[in-house]
A and B are shown apart, each in its own frame.
Chain A
Amino acid sequence: DVKVTQSSRYLVKRTGEKVFLECVQDMDHENMFWYRQDPGLGLRLIYFSYDVKMKEKGDIPEGYSVSREKKERFSLILESASTNQTSMYLCASSATPGQSIAKNIQYFGAGTRLSVL
């Protein structure tokens, strides 16, 4: 089974702190994603990466950065946490589809609920 592991389920940080959210996948997937989920808004893409050291901005990248030094690990960084970054953060991974559309499926971690006070 594909496993996507996020380092923390719950995290409480103070405004201005630097925050690292870690995500590791064990299926050798090329693509990795960071989303945030807020009530009534669904999942919004922050950043994604389609290869080591490659990254692209999603829909809401402001206030975030990412790092992908190894294929299996994708980190989300909040340089200076703010209260409006209180949210549920989800990491996901997927394979590059090639011939099979089913490889578009994204596999998710359990989420990190971040509270910034």
Chain B
Amino acid sequence: ILNVEQSPQSLHVQEGDSTNFTCSFPSSNFYALHWYRWETAKSPEALFVMTLNGDEKKKGRISATLNTKEGYSYLYIKGSQPEDSATYLCAFLWQQGAQKLVFGQGTRLTINP
């Protein structure tokens, strides 16, 4: 059974502070790692698709890194804003062509003004 773990499960951060959280996944049979942001009452939306060891992706104040050899990815948010409040999901794609993502349980981020 494939296991994708995210930590912490929830996080409260003061506005303006930077934060990061972790996604751990199996290091074998790696194909891709996805990050999604899920705001309350909205649909989850893709942030990043990462495929190569050492990948770094950035979108505005949010960035992510990938280590496929040790099986982890970090998501960083710089200078948190209230609109960053959401649940952040990582998902592991383990079989090329099968299209099935295995999701972690998510990190629920709340930014306190």
CB–CB A45/B99 < 8 A? no
User: Which residue, of A43, A97, A107, has the highest number of chain B Cβ atoms within 10 A?
Assistant: A43
The 3 closest A-B pairs by CB, nearest first: A42-B105, A43-B103, A108-B43
- In the bound complex, residues from chain A placing their C-beta under 8 Å from that of B99 are 31, 48, 50, 94, 96-97, 104
CB–CB B9/A40 < 8 A? yes
- In the bound complex, residues from chain B placing their C-beta under 8 Å from that of A58 are 100
- In the bound complex, residues from chain B placing their C-beta under 8 Å from that of A97 are 97, 99
Measured between alpha carbons, how far is A33 from B34 in the docked complex, in Å? 16
A41 on the interface (CB 8 Å rule)? Answer: yes
CB–CB B105/A41 < 8 A? yes
Measured between alpha carbons, how far is A30 from B37 in the docked complex, in Å? 23
Q: Quick one: closest A residue to B104, CB to CB?
A: A42
A25 to chain B, nearest CB (A): 12
Other-chain contact of A101, B9, B45, B51, B105 (Cβ < 8 Å)? B51
CB–CB A105/B44 < 8 A? no
Measured between alpha carbons, how far is A1 from B6 in the docked complex, in Å? 29
A11 on the interface (CB 8 Å rule)? Answer: no
CB–CB A104/B34 < 8 A? yes
Per-residue CB proximity of A72-109 to B under 8 Å, as 1/0? 00000000000000000010001011000110111111
- In the bound complex, residues from chain A placing their C-beta under 8 Å from that of B6 are 42
A66 on the interface (CB 8 Å rule)? Answer: no
A112 to chain B, nearest CB (A): 12
CB–CB B49/A104 < 8 A? yes
Measured between alpha carbons, how far is A45 from B100 in the docked complex, in Å? 8
A75 to chain B, nearest CB (A): 19
